[in-house]
Every structure is written in C-alpha cells, then in structure tokens.
C-alpha cells in the first residue's frame, strides 16, 4: 500500500511557494524602480545646513569663475594653467573645468606658455607664485584667479 498524502499539507506547501515567489517578484520590482528613481535624482551632499542639491548648480557656480577669463583672453589660442599645490584633487577638477569653460582656447597644464591662468586658494599664494617666477599679472579676477603674462615675451 502506498502511503497517502495529506491534502492539507500539499495545499499548504503550494501556498507557501506561491507566497515566496510573489514576495521575490515584489522585491525585485522595488529594486528596479528604486534604481531608476535614484538615477533621476540630483547627487546630494550633506552640509551643515542639511541636505542640498549638488548636481548642475555646483558645476555652474564653479564654472562661473572662468567666464570672465574667456572674454579677457581675447584671441589667445593656447594658455597655460597652474593651480596651487594645496588644491590636491580639486586642482585636477579646476583644470578640467577651465578646459571646458574656455573652449575653444586650448588650456595646457604648463607654466611655459606666454599667457597662464593661475588659480590659487588665496591671494597670498598667487602673489608668492608671481614673485618667484618671471610673470606679470595682467588682471586679477578675484578668488585667487588671475591672468599672467610671461615677462620678456
């Protein structure tokens, strides 16, 4: 004789399996929707005042420093770029931002060019840089940014 299966137990097992599958589908769907929602939200940074949007506004605010330079460089095709040593990784960002904002002028990371854009964290660093090298300040833009011309060229 074959042992008989309990119909209640079989029904209970099917119900549990169905519940687990439905739960897994709901969790997967929530993860997909959450991931898509997160991609559409601006990057946020926590500041002392709370959460603030950090996306395009931060780039455009930082890039505004370079807009007056574009007008004042005139027809200069190539410029050098120097950033204060204390800037660290922010110096790389400033360099690439200058390249982006000053196009079509070619920005090179060199101090050997006839015209150099200097970006320092403070005016004292800028003054020390100019004093130690053969540059004259064509124009100070404020915030440690200046256009320098090599003397003797």
Decide: 130 and 114 in contact? Cβ < 8 Å: no
Tokens of 136: 């004259």
Q: Element (H or E) spanning 45, and its range?
A: strand 44-47
Residue 54 DSSP SS3: coil
CA distances from 148 to 16, 51, 138, 145 (A): 75, 39, 5, 10
**Which range, of 44-48, 62-66, 112-116, averages the lowest pLDDT?**
44-48
- Mean residue pLDDT of the chain comes to 77
Token pair for residue 81? 């770029």
pLDDT band of residue 17 (cuts 50, 70, 90) is: confident
What's the CA angle centered on 15, arms 10 and 17, to 5 degrees? 95
Tens-place pLDDT, residues 51-92 = 444 445 566 666 777 888 888 888 889 999 998 876 677 788
Domain positions in the chain are 7-41, 59-150
pLDDT band at residue 6 using 50, 70 and 90 as cut-offs:
low
């Amino acid at each position: 004789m074959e042992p008989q299966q309990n119909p209640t137990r079989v029904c209970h097992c099917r119900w549990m399996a169905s519940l687990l599958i439905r739960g897994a589908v709901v969790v997967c769907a929530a993860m997909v929707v959450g991931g898509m929602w997160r991609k559409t939200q601006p990057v946020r940074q926590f500041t002392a005042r709370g959460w603030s949007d950090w996306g395009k506004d931060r780039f455009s605010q930082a890039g505004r420093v370079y807009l007056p330079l574009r007008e004042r460089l005139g027809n200069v095709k190539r410029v050098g770029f120097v950033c204060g040593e204390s800037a660290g990784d922010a110096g790389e960002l400033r360099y690439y931002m200058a390249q982006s904002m000053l196009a079509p002028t070619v920005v090179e990371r060199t101090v050997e060019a006839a015209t150099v854009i200097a970006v320092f964290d403070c005016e004292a660093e800028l003054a020390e840089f100019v004093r130690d090298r053969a540059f004259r300040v064509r124009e100070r833009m404020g915030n440690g940014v200046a256009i320098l011309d090599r003397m003797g060229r």
